[in-house]
Each structure stands twice: as C-alpha cells, then as structure tokens.
C-alpha cells in the first residue's frame, strides 16, 4: 500500500496583503507516510507537493541520483522551485536541512509515478 497515514499541521499564508489578510494561494504543511517513510509535504492550491531533496535522501537513498534524474526525464516529471515562505515551512517540519537556500518540489502524483517506476531498480552495491 502506497499511503499509510497522514498528519496535517497549521495553515501557513503564502502571501499576505497590506491589511494582513491572506490571499488565495494559502498552503498548509503535514506529514505523509509513503512506503514506510515519513515525508513532509506542502498542500499548495489543492496539490500535495513533496521536497525533492527529502524524497531523494530518504525514499530513494539506495538508488543513484543520476538514475532518478533519468527516470524523471523519461516520465516527464517537472519539479518547481519553492518560494521563501514554503522553504521556511519545509525547514520547520524538518523536510529540508536548515542550511538549505533553495528547494524543489514535486507533486504527489509525480511521486507515485516515480515510486512505481523505481520499484524494479536494484539498490547500488
């Protein structure tokens, strides 16, 4: 089973206007267990987005990064750079190191496709 549990954190406004009200595009953070590994995510505009750094280091730690990059290219998986507020939130939930200055995100659907595609790969020895 791909998904086993989920926990949501508080709402975090992505952008705030001059009156202090949150604009559309709010996001919230949480944790989701995928293949037995607890990954942090951001829910942005209705889409769960996972930090690519955490996915590579925790979920695909036994597969060379070049192999994962080729799989992503073959599957036409695009990552997107997170903004400063998203990066700070990912740091707060320990999905990226506190020293990180940038982070890429991939969607849950893309992560599922990548997991399915990588199941047949053997770990490096």
| Residue 68 DSSP class | H
Please tell me the distance from the alpha carbon of residue 75 to that of residue 54, in angstroms, as a whole number. Answer: 20
Q: What is the mean pLDDT of the chain?
A: 81
Residue 76 has pLDDT above 70, yes or no: yes
Residue 55's pLDDT is what? 94
Is 54 among the domain residues? yes
4 within a domain of the structure (yes/no): no
Domain that holds residue 94: 28-118
Whether residue 123 is contained in a domain is answered as no
The answer to whether residue 65 is domain-embedded is yes
Rounded to an integer, the average pLDDT of 72-87 is 94
CATH number at residue 48: 3.10.260.20
Residue 38 placed within a domain:
yes
Asked if residue 64 belongs to a domain, the reply is yes
Residue 80 lies inside a defined structural domain of this protein: yes
In a domain, residue 56? The reply is yes
| pLDDT reported for residue 120 | 75
β-strands 37-44, 47-51 pairing: antiparallel
Closest by CA position to 107, among listed 82, 87, 85: 82
pTM for the whole structure: 0.76
Q: How many domains does the chain have?
A: 1
């Amino acid at each position: 089973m791909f998904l086993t549990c989920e926990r949501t954190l508080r709402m975090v406004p992505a952008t705030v206007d001059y009156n202090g009200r949150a604009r559309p595009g709010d996001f919230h953070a949480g944790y989701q267990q995928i293949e037995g590994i607890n990954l942090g995510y951001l829910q942005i505009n209705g889409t769960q987005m996972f930090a690519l750094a955490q996915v590579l280091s925790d979920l695909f730690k036994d597969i060379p990064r070049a192999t994962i990059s080729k799989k992503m290219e073959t599957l036409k998986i695009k990552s997107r750079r997170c903004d400063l507020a998203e990066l700070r939130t990912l740091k707060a939930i320990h999905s990226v190191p506190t020293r990180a200055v940038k982070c890429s995100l991939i969607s849950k659907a893309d992560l599922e496709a990548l997991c399915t595609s990588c199941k047949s790969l053997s770990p490096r020895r």
